Structure 1
Amino acid sequence: MSDENVRRVVTVPWTGAAEPAARRMVQLDRSEALRLLGSVPLGRIVFTLHALPAIRPVNHLLDGEDVVIRTHEGAALVGQSQQAGDPGVVVAYEADCIDPDTRLGWSVVVTGYAQPVTDPDELARYRARLHPWVDKAMDCTVRIRPDMVTGVRLVP
């Protein structure tokens, strides 16, 4: 086999800025974590699907301390049955804003119960304020009531 028919793999060293110094994680209090969560439109919801963890990116809004998302009728999160008096489905919701170059930023995780929103006035208000990013009917609105709110800020 001639040299022109042989593929060569060349490893190119990273040519970006110098490796950033180590960062510290500073714990955020609940109010600061929620303020930061409300400052971004996108996060990831974590729930159980067939006894395994599932993660989906979704856009959200914050209403007081509640995280509100919209989803489609057949979504696994909505399809989990609830009985009267059931607090909802246990979920986690995570959002962050971390600069890939400086490696500075924050991450917030909300853990709590997700329930469908059924009040017509609330549904209308959320539908007017929260517009899905995907081209698919998002007819279900879900509210996450946080029991735990944790967050960290990455600082130099």
Structure 2
Amino acid sequence: MTGEASGSAEQGQGGGAPALVSLDEAECLRLISPGGVGRLGYVGRYGPTILPVNYKLHEDTIVFRTAQDSPTDEDLRTGIENAEYKVAFEIDELDPAARSGWSVLIQGSLHHVASEEERASVRASGVEPWAGGPRELYLRIRPTRVTGRRVGEGATSGGA
């Protein structure tokens, strides 16, 4: 995995605009490590698609669940054995009142968890979808690029 350099501030528009700072990969992974809700982006059969999913960071991968044979499952199958779909995954935390927050973008390959051994491993992540119904298909994103930015309070230091 590769990330952007830490601490390079970009100048804001106008005199009082908050600073925008690039985050390094380690800080990005620290910020997203508690899990939560992220947005999965990919090109589906009806065009660009962005969906919220509950995720966990597990063994340096993003893990989430969906229903077997769901539109998401069908859209993310290449039809080619061992081929993986390229996706983007974005997680952020924003405080509009303080005009501050951070955003992490992960780009990588999406992998359908198929083997029982791997399924046992990702099951241990504890990821639980909010949506009802059976969601027993585990999907995993292996990051190839991790980037992030922070804006507002604390942005000048590049850390939390």
Per the shorter chain, which TM-score range? 0.7 to 0.9
Whole-angstrom CA distance in 2 between matches of 1:103 and 1:140: 38
Q: 1:133 aligns with which of 127, 130, 135?
A: 130
| Map of 1:23 onto structure 2 | 18
Q: Does the CA-based 8 Å contact 1:49-1:76 persist in structure 2? A: no
Partner secondary structure for residue 129 of structure 2:
coil
Deviates more, 1:112-121 or 1:52-61: 112-121
SS in 2 for 1:22: coil
TM-score normalised to the size of structure 2?
0.77
Question: After superposition, what is the alpha-carbon deviation per residue over 1:123-154, rounded to whole angstroms, capped at 9, x for unaligned?
Answer: 23433511111112102101101111110011
- Structure showing greater radius of gyration is 1
3-state secondary structure, aligned to 1:53: strand
> In structure 1, what is the equivalent of residue 145 of structure 2?
148
1:5 alignment counterpart: none
1:69 corresponding residue in structure 2: 64
1:138 & 1:51 partners in 2: Cα distance?
23
* 5+ residue gaps, structure 2: 1-15, 154-160
More off after superposition, 106-115 vs 77-86: 77-86
The correspondence for 1:116, drawn from 112, 115, 125, is 112
Task: Tell me if structure 2 keeps the 8 A contact 1:95–1:109.
Answer: yes
Aligned length: 135
| Pairing 1:92-111 to 2, within 5 Å after superposition | 92-111=88-107
Q: How many percent of aligned residue pairs carry the same amino acid?
A: 34
Query: How big is the alpha-carbon RMSD for the aligned residues of Structure 1 and Structure 2?
Result: 1.6
Say which SS state the counterpart of residue 83 (structure 1) adopts. coil
CA deviations over 1:47-103 (Å, ceiling 9, x no partner): 1112611011000011132111101113334212332342x0011000101112102
Q: Structure 2: how far apart are the matches of 1:116 and 1:131? A: 17
The 1:74–1:115 alpha-carbon spacing in structure 2 relative to 1, beyond 3 Å, is same
Contact 1:47 1:77 in 2 (8 A): no
Q: Which residue of 1 is the match for residue 48 of structure 2?
A: 53
The residue type equivalent to 2:63 in the other structure is V
Q: Distance in 2 between matches of 1:34 and 1:82?
A: 31
TM-score by length of 1: 0.79
